Structure 1
Amino acid sequence: MMNLFSSFDPMTTPMNMSLNWISTFLGMLLLPFTYWLHPNRLSIMHYIPMNMLDKEMKILMSNKEASLLFITLFLLIFYNNFLGLFPYIFTSSSHLTFSLSLALPLWLSFNLYGWINNMVHMFSHLVPQNTPPMLMPFMVLIETSSNLIRTITLSVRLTANMIAGHLLLILLSSTSTKLNLLLTPMLILPQILLLALESAVTIIQSYVFTVLSVLYSNEVN
C-alpha cells in the first residue's frame, strides 16, 4: 500500500494486471463442501434469513416469480461488501465499475420493458396525481430527470458508503504506528466499534440496493 487510496485500486497487483477483481468470486471458494449438501446446519442458517427476505420481496413485487433474481443480487453485493472487511482483500463494491455494472443493466431492462409493453403506464408516471395543469410540464421534467439519474444514485450510494467506512478504518490503523504503546490500546476499541458498524453497513447497503431495484421494477408493470 503506497498511499491511502491504494486499497481501492484494482491495479495494485504485479505486472499491472487487475487480478484484484478475483476477490469478487472469492466467496465461492470460502464456502465449505458441506454447504452443497442438503440439509445441513450451514444451509439451514442460510435458508432462514433468505426465506424472510423472499417473503418481504414478494410483498413489494407485483411479479412474485422474480424474487429469486433480487435475492441473488442481494447475496452478490453482501458477499463482496463483507469480504472487503478482511485485510488485503480488494473491496470490489467500493469501485464504480462493479456498482455501475449492476445498476445500469437493471435500469435499462426495466425502462425498455416498460416503454415497449406499457407505454401509457410509463407516461402516467411522469405526471403524479392531482398535479395542477400549470405545473405539469415542470413535473414531467423533474420525473424524467429523477428517472435518468437512478443508475447514478444506486451505484454511487453503494460505492460512497463502502469507501467512507474503509477509509476511516485505514486512517485509524495508520495512526496506530505513531502512537505511544500506552495509547495504542485506546485505539483498539474505536476500531472494533467501527468494524461492527461497517459489518452492519454491508447488510444495509445490500438491502437498500435490492429494495430500490424491486421498487423500480414495480413502476414498469
Structure 2
Amino acid sequence: MQKFIRLNAVAAPLPLANVDTDMIIPAQYMKALTRTGLGEHLFRELRFAEDGSERGEFILNKPSCHRAQILIADRNFGCGSSREHAVWALADFGIRCVIAPSFGDIFAGNARKNGLLLVRLPGKTCARLRDEIALAQYAPIEVDLEAQQIRLASGERIDFDIDGGDRRILLEGLDDIARTLRHADAIDRFEAAL
C-alpha cells in the first residue's frame, strides 16, 4: 500500500450528501477481481449520459478537475452496501483523499485498508472549502497527514483530527498483510513451538 504523508493536488468539490457506494461504483461494474480498471466507472451515472458521452457539468469531467486527487464531499459519503470496490474505484481514478463531515462506517474501514485518507471536518467548513476552491479556480491544496493540516492556496491552514492508529497505518503504508508480517518472528516462534 502506498504511504500517505503529504498530498499537494487539485480538490474537486462534490456537494452531494448521502453518496452511497452504488453511486460511487454501480454494481454492474463490480465483476472484476482486480482493483484496476474500476476508475473508468467511478460515479458512472453522474459522469456519463446514457449514450456514454461525458456530462460536461459533472465536476470530474471539467478540465480543471479532471485529474483531481482530493474530493470535498458532503455528509455520509460512502454509505450503503459494504462494497470494497467503491474504494478501489476511487483509488484507481486517482483519488487519494476525501474530505467530508461524515462517512459510512464500512466504507471508512475499507478506505483505511486501501490507503485512502478520510478527513472529517464540520459541514460548514466543508461547504466553505468547496466555495473557496471554486473561487481559487481549483488551485491545488495540500493535505498533510503528518501535521494533520490542510493548507489552501490562500495560505489558510485548517487542522484536522484522525484516529492515531489510522494515521500510523496510512503514514507507514501498512495494509492488513503488512501489519501482520511485522510480527513474522513471533508467528514463526509460535508455529515452531506447536
- Shorter chain as denominator, the TM-score bin is under 0.3
TM-score calculated relative to the size of structure 1: 0.23
Determine which structure has more spread, i.e. the larger CA radius of gyration. Answer: 1
When you count helix as a share of all residues, which structure comes out higher?
1
Q: TM-score, normalised by structure 2?
A: 0.25
